[in-house]
Amino acid sequence: MTNHIFTTFDKIKDRNAKEIYLKQRGKVIWLTGLSGSGKTTLASMLEKRLFEFNYFCQILDGDNVRSGINKNLRFTEEDRLENIRRIAEVSKLFMNCGIILICSFISPTNEMRQLARDIIGDNDFLEVFINTPLEVCEQRDPKGLYKKARAGEIKNFTGISSPFEKPQNPFLEVDNTNPELEQTVKYMLLKIMPEIRFDPTTNL
Amino acid sequence: MTNHIFTTFDKIKDRNAKEIYLKQRGKVIWLTGLSGSGKTTLASMLEKRLFEFNYFCQILDGDNVRSGINKNLRFTEEDRLENIRRIAEVSKLFMNCGIILICSFISPTNEMRQLARDIIGDNDFLEVFINTPLEVCEQRDPKGLYKKARAGEIKNFTGISSPFEKPQNPFLEVDNTNPELEQTVKYMLLKIMPEIRFDPTTNL
């Protein structure tokens, strides 16, 4: 048996090589906030604008996570943490591939967000608090969930029967009461751009 | 409250848009075979060659999966299936992002591989059987696992105390006894390239 079969080949396509390929820095933009605060809408708009600037992003949200990787999880406290753990691990895999993640999850507790931050790493976890007042979220109630929660049909509904712990020191805080969404997104982009911008000189 | 806040924006960055961006087709190349058959080595070489041709790939293997998303799984039968299920779901997320996945897992049973195929979709699941004879794998024994399995120190070791069900109709079959790995990879590339090649005319 020749020996070179098990030569370890350089893992040249590591994060840095992939960031060079995509000309961007992989990061995780983590949107946290109440149901109806505008996370999904802002995530979409953010992705759209970033794509116009040639940034390669991936949105993770309830839609593509609860129907796939996390479909075998329930809403017990343990499973809610496992939900966030898996999302963070998937995000990390994407980020290590140089991709910018936009994660959109209520993630109401400090424990949950700390778990995600620990997995992803402090430097790469951009916590964005969509701080839209409860009254505004409840007035919007796009999915009729607040109504059901008030009627007692949904238990442990964040903001009504279950607490939302405000992030203490988020990377960015947005009040999404303002209907001028384009302005809100612009404000977010101004803060996010320096974090994802690729600077080739750092590789010299 | 203005109404346009909840306008649904086109999800323009869907799979097709991302494939256009990357100029490739997202696919899952699923390497199955015994321990020591050469899956990891071939996965690395494949990624390296594809990267030279400007294809953007991601390897999923025991290293980055068992230490992250699947770290809370054991080696029971149930957990082995859950291991494959999560890997397939993560692969699907990447593939829907236009990325070429190279998955390297023993995945010894038809049930496991069928589960992965069902999740990923028949058209996108490229099953590659690394059909290196057991004797060769055992002779190589890079991690000393066969020795331990023969000594009874590892239970349910595929090929020794647990069966490997050969894929019935793989996309591609490779006997990796040949030490001319470059030739093997070339053969694989010739079959894989037409599957991942981007043809802009299909978007006209």
Cβ pair A95, A28 in contact under 8 A: yes
Catalytic positions of B are: 107
The pLDDT, as a whole number, for residue B74 is 85
Any domain includes A200: no
- Chain A residues in contact with B174 by the CB 8 A cut-off are none
- Closest Cα in chain B, distance from residue A113 (Å): 17
Q: Please give the residue of chain A at the shortest CA–CA distance from B15.
A: A58
CATH of the domain at A94: 3.40.50.300
> B58, B60, B84: which to substitute to probe chain A, counting the most A Cβ within 10 Å?
B58
Residue A122 lies in a domain: yes
Here the tokens at position A195 are 């974090």
Q: Which residues of A are known catalytic residues?
A: 107
Indicate whether B121 belongs to any domain.
yes
Where residue B9 falls among pLDDT bands split at 50, 70, 90?
A: very low
Query: Does B93 contact A179 at a Cβ distance shorter than 8 Å?
Result: no
pTM of the model: 0.90
Number of domains in chain B: 1
The CA distance from B192 to the nearest CA of chain A, in Å, is 19
Examine the pLDDT at B12 and tell me if it is beyond 60.
no
Is residue A27 pLDDT above 70, yes or no? yes
Distance from CA of A95 to the nearest CA of B (A): 11
Residue B3 falls inside a structural domain: no
In a domain, B181, yes or no: yes
Structural domain boundaries enclosing A18: 12-132+166-193
In a domain, A184, yes or no: yes
Domain assignment of residue B89, yes or no:
yes
- CB distance B6–A140 less than 8 Å? yes
Average pLDDT across chain B, whole number: 89
ipTM of the complex: 0.89
Contact B97 A94 (CB under 8 A): yes
Q: State the Cα–Cα distance between residues B148 and B146, nearest whole angstrom.
A: 5
Q: Is A144 left (phi over 0), alpha (psi -120 to 50) or beta?
A: left
Give the angle A19-B96-A41 at the CA atoms, nearest 5°. 85
* SS3 at position B160: coil
Which pLDDT does position B72 carry in this prediction?
A: 87
B24 in any annotated domain: yes
Q: What's the residue count for chain B?
A: 204
How confident is the model over A166-195, as a mean pLDDT? 92
Residue in A74, A113, A94 with CA at minimum distance from that of residue B60: A94
Which residues lie below 8 Å from residue B96, measured CB to CB, with a gap of 6+?
Answer: A64, B14, B15, B18, B26
